[in-house]
Structure 1
Amino acid sequence: MKAITITQESEPIQLADISKPEISGDECLVKLSAAALNRRDQWIREGMYPGIQFGTVLGSDGCGVVEEGPVEWKGKEVIINPNVAWGDNPEVQSDKYSVLGMPTNGTLAEYIKVPTHRLHKKPVHLTNNEAAALPLAGLTAFRATINKGAVNAQKRVLVTGAGGGVSQFAIAFAVASGAEVYVTSGNEDKIERVKEMGVKGGFNYRDEKWYKAAVALGGFDSIIDSAGGNQLNNYLKIIKPSGRIVMYGSTTGHPEKLDVFRLFWSQAQIMGSTMGSDDEFTEMLEWITKYQIRPTVDKVFDLDNYLLAFDRFKEPDSFGKIVVKFG
């Protein structure tokens, strides 16, 4: 079968012919219909991810049809929970935790074997490409927005980086909750596009004084952020007293300094968040179905054009999830 693997070649990701997995015990063999890329995959390609294991099939997100396994699953359209060994504590992942796509072979292949308990029925209102875009980013956004951020209809929330895959889901969940939603972006077109999702307004972070307009609004109960860096001190200027700043990434690195005075005087909470527990994955799917949420798919590529799919991350107009389809 064809699979995208990480190698030590000059181009680290290669489309290779590898053996089709053989299942045993309580496992299923899933024939993938589509898989989605995450920044994680690109960072592995660039050698910027810890613990790279060469020869691993990349990819954490995917949907397909069960070809082999227990009779109750055979022929079912499914999506795959990419968590591996989250553990028993719903508050934090175990020390054995990992994600599909390294070290465990992932979804960027024609077939994958997974334990049956990783499978969920594909939401019927989603296309294969939309369903493939859901698992990792959807779960990350759900935990950060609804569970960590405590976003609901009484809250005003700011979601940063409006064009990213996780932020798109964070926007969708926040809008579904009834919250008043604003965004940041360095691209005015992206701010206008998310207004179609129910976003009330946005701020261009390329303007160094963007936070003043946010202060004029009265601030935010929750801020859902993946950027980190020096913007953190701006968030402390616009967070309401006892508000929550939830950080699920740090694409701009560490802040040069932290305004600790504003932090303790505001009684604000700065909270870290990762992908999410298995129970949260189930809860996330319930929201997706209840509110008929559809992932934003940026572009879809054939498997043979996998390098173009990865390179799409470098293009400034990308908006939503990048999907690779099979067959």
Structure 2
Amino acid sequence: MKAVVLNRSVTNQLEIKEVEKPKVGVGEVLVQVKAGALNHRDEWCRQGLYPNLKDGVILGSDGAGLVVALGEGLDASWLEKEVIINPSLNWGSDERVQVKEYKILGMPDNGTLAEYIGIKADRLQAKPAHMSWEEAAALPLGGLTAYRALMVQGRLQKDEKVLVTGFGGGVAQFAVQFALAAGAEVYVSSSSEEKRQKALALGVKAAFDYTNETWVKEAVGLCGGFDLIIDSAVGDTFNNLIKVANPGARIVFYGATKGNPTGFDARKVFWNQLQIIGSTMGSDQDFEAMLAFVNQHQIKPVIDQVFSLDEAVKAFDRMKAGSQMGKIVLKS
């Protein structure tokens, strides 16, 4: 079968090559992958920026496909099921936090950017019927991360004012769509005029250019402040989020692409009773709740561009450039 494999000794650090089709063990199924999608972690693996990297591993956390073979112990009703893959592995029994052994599909375990994947049946859920293969493949990692940040850690309530920073990437896109569906008043920030316009077309109230020094004043003047802020950057922009947070607000961050802040306005945090909350992908319970929410509201991911497996380098380069609006998908 054809697969996209990490190989840091070759140009572009990727190989699109023929590898052996997986053999399924007890409790496992063979899924014919109809489509997979990229996440930033895939590009970080290519750049050598992710921990515990191993050459020869098939990349990809997101995928959807058709069950074509069963391992021992599984009912025949699994065959020919259209499924979506939960990339969260070994969360553990505590809903509050993952265990030390927690992993994400695609590194160090073989992932979804291949024609087939062998995987435990408990990682599969029914593909949302209202989605295409490409849309379903785009949902898992970003959708799960956004749902936990927004609904579980952020405890979003209807009519609250929500700011989602860095709109354009997969998680931020889902956070906006989920918050709108939940009845929140949603705002975004982005340095891209094109992405700000896209957000407005989705139904957000306003979109701010965070590179403009006046955006904090503009935001406070427009809506007074935010009850919930979803962020993935942190860095030196974090104090601006503290400035636009309403008293009692929650600031949830699921990444720190800009690193740690060099300054921290601790006085404003304690005086305004702010809550600063970390978040990761999510548990199996979160994944099931996310799918139920998506099905209830008939939410569809925004797809940026679809490539073939043979065009994987082009797809990864687009991810690296950061110009995408929505999810980048590889079709098997």
> Which TM-score applies when normalising by structure 1?
0.98
Equivalent in the alignment of 1:80:
85
* CA–CA distance in structure 1, aligned partners of residues 203 and 183 of structure 2: 10
Counterpart contact for 1:152–1:174, Cα < 8 Å: no
Secondary structure of residue in 2 paired with 1:196 = helix
Equivalent of residue 243 in structure 1, options 229, 232, 249:
249
**1:317 alignment partner AA:** S
Task: Write the mapping of 1:1-327 to structure 2, written as runs, cut at 5 A.
Answer: 1-10=1-10, 11-69=12-70, 70=74, 71-216=76-221, 217-326=223-332
**2:6 alignment partner AA:** I
| Structure 2 stretches lacking a partner, 5+ long | none
* CA–CA distance in structure 2, aligned partners of residues 2 and 187 of structure 1: 36
Residues 131-160 of structure 1 show CA distances to partners (whole Å, capped at 9, x for unaligned) of 000000000000001111122213000000
TM-superposed deviation, 1:316: 4.7
**1:3 alignment partner AA:** A
**1:5 alignment partner AA:** V
Residues 192-223 of structure 1 show CA distances to partners (whole Å, capped at 9, x for unaligned) of 11122121111101102211111212100000
Counterpart contact for 2:8–2:46, Cα < 8 Å: no
Counterpart contact for 2:163–2:228, Cα < 8 Å: yes
* CA–CA distance in structure 1, aligned partners of residues 99 and 214 of structure 2: 41
Secondary structure of residue in 1 paired with 2:202 = coil
* CA–CA distance in structure 1, aligned partners of residues 321 and 259 of structure 2: 20
Residues 269-307 of structure 1 show CA distances to partners (whole Å, capped at 9, x for unaligned) of 110000000000000000110000000110000111110
TM-superposed deviation, 1:317: 3.3
Counterpart contact for 2:186–2:204, Cα < 8 Å: yes
**2:151 alignment partner AA:** I
TM-superposed deviation, 1:123: 0.3
* CA–CA distance in structure 1, aligned partners of residues 137 and 156 of structure 2: 26
Counterpart contact for 2:43–2:320, Cα < 8 Å: no
Secondary structure of residue in 2 paired with 1:223 = strand
TM-superposed deviation, 1:18: 1.0
**2:18 alignment partner AA:** D
**1:321 alignment partner AA:** K
Counterpart contact for 2:57–2:107, Cα < 8 Å: yes
Secondary structure of residue in 2 paired with 1:251 = coil
Counterpart contact for 2:144–2:287, Cα < 8 Å: yes
* CA–CA distance in structure 2, aligned partners of residues 281 and 23 of structure 1: 24
Measured on the aligned residues, the alpha-carbon RMSD in Å equals: 0.9
> Which TM-score applies when normalising by structure 2?
0.96
Counterpart contact for 2:145–2:254, Cα < 8 Å: yes
* CA–CA distance in structure 2, aligned partners of residues 196 and 215 of structure 1: 22
TM-superposed deviation, 1:242: 1.1
Residues 27-57 of structure 1 show CA distances to partners (whole Å, capped at 9, x for unaligned) of 1000000000000000000011111111111
| Structure 1 stretches lacking a partner, 5+ long | none
**2:24 alignment partner AA:** I
**2:310 alignment partner AA:** D
TM-superposed deviation, 1:77: 0.6
* CA–CA distance in structure 2, aligned partners of residues 256 and 187 of structure 1: 25
Report the count of equivalent residues.
326
